[in-house]
């Protein structure tokens, strides 16, 4: 198991009510190597290393799935909308092409 | 061979080598990534040969000029009621001249409430960004916009 990568989930706006439509931003610190770059020290090609699938779920029920290729930037950022149905937990699972798996979650707390 | 001619030839050859930037040379010689797809191939793979209509419903927000091709923000908005019967099924973001055109496929559900997706992509040079949208009734919509890149982001 590889070390956990730094990632974060943000809700925009920060304060929201039930039935509001919010943005969910997900950012992960990941090199996203294309496999076309040379390592300056060794002179060998760096192997491709990128996130290839992401799943956003609410209380364990996936609502958005993504397939991603190496053409997405380093430290990728993804943003989708969600209509807040009530209290819950947003979980984002992601895997990369080297089999690394990670999970990040944040509680959804609507006010009012 | 005369010494004069030799030197002339050598100068010309080195000039060619200099004008061909390392990235161009690299791109030619480098073993390409495993998923190498042109835009046409990618669209065919997604739609399965169905017609794609250019539509006003899809709005794509990209910068006109991107100074750095490594980070180009892309936003896709699709007008849709997002009900169970009529919603955006998937948004595909494609770049026309990258060696692998496919950037991201996003499968949405009615829970999302809006046909919206934003990310950041790498672009190897000046090219078009294409947003291909699959609706729940199986039709495909498309929007594309050119982005001018001053420094490439791939390789």
Which domains occur in chain B, in start order? 39-149 (2.60.40.2470)
**Full-prediction pTM beyond 0.90?**
no
ipTM of the complex in this document = 0.84
Of A70, A74, A76, the CB nearest to B100: A70
Residues of A in contact with B91 (CB under 8 A): none
Cβ separation A71–B108 shorter than 8 A? no
Handedness of CA B142, B146, B147, B149 (dihedral sign): positive
By C-alpha distance, the chain B residue nearest A70 is B103
Alpha helices (H) in chain A, listed in sequence order: none
> Tell me, what's the pLDDT at A23?
92
Tens of pLDDT along B82-138?
A: 888 899 999 999 998 888 888 999 999 998 888 999 999 988 889 999 999 999 888
Tell if the CB–CB gap between B71 and A72 is shorter than 8 Å.
no
pLDDT digits (tens, 9 = 90+) for B24-40: 444 444 444 456 778 88
Contact across the interface for B100 and A71, Cβ inside 8 Å: yes
Provide mean pLDDT across the span A68-81: 91
The label of the residue with tokens 């190897």 reads B124
Residue A38 has a pLDDT of: 83
User: What is the least distance, in Å, from the CA of A106 to any CA of chain B?
Assistant: 17
pLDDT of residue B31: 42
Q: Is B47 on the interface with A (CB under 8 A)?
A: no
Q: What is the pLDDT of residues B59-70, one digit of tens each?
A: 999 999 988 888
The per-residue pLDDT for A62 is 93
For the segment A18-74, what is each residue's pLDDT rounded down to a tens digit?
Answer: 988 999 999 999 988 888 888 888 888 888 899 989 999 999 899 999 999 888 999
How far is it, in rounded angstroms, from Cα B36 to Cα B42? 9
Per the CB < 8 A criterion, the answer to whether A58 and A81 are in contact is no
- For residue A44, the SS3 value is coil
Q: Determine the average pLDDT of the residues in A80-90.
A: 91
Instruction: Give yes or no for a contact between B78 and B116, defined as CB atoms under 8 angstroms apart.
Output: yes
Q: What is the pLDDT of residue A112?
A: 66
Return the residue of A nearest to B129 by Cα: A71
Chain B contact probe: residue of A29, A43, A81 with most B CBs at under 10 A? A81
Partner-chain residue, chosen from A70, A72, A80, that has the shortest CB–CB distance to B33 = A70
Three-state DSSP class for residue B118: strand
Res B141: pLDDT: 92
pLDDT of residue B101: 87
């Amino acid at each position: 198991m590889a070390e956990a990568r730094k990632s974060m989930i943000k809700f925009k706006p920060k304060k929201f009510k039930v039935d509001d439509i919010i943005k969910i931003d997900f950012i992960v610190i990941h090199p996203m190597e294309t496999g076309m770059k040379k390592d300056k020290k060794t002179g060998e090609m760096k192997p491709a290393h990128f996130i290839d699938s992401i799943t956003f779920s609410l209380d364990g029920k996936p609502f958005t799935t993504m397939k991603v290729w190496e053409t997405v930037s380093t430290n990728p950022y993804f943003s989708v909308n969600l209509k807040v149905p009530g209290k819950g937990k947003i979980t984002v699972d992601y895997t990369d092409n080297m089999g690394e798996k990670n999970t990040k979650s944040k509680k959804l707390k609507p006010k009012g | 061979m005369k010494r004069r001619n030799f030197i002339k030839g050598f100068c010309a050859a080195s000039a060619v080598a200099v004008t061909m930037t390392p990235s161009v040379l690299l791109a030619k010689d480098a073993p390409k990534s495993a998923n190498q797809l042109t835009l046409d191939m990618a669209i065919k793979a997604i739609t399965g040969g169905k017609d794609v209509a250019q539509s006003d419903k899809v709005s794509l927000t990209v910068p006109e000029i991107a100074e750095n091709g490594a980070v180009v923000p892309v936003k896709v908005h699709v007008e849709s009621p997002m009900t169970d019967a009529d919603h955006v099924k998937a948004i595909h973001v494609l770049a026309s001249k990258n060696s692998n055109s496919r950037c991201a496929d996003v499968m949405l559900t009615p829970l999302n409430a809006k046909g919206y997706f934003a990310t950041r992509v790498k672009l190897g040079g000046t090219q078009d960004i294409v947003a291909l949208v699959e609706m729940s009734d199986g039709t495909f919509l498309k929007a594309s916009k050119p982005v001018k890149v001053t420094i490439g982001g791939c390789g």
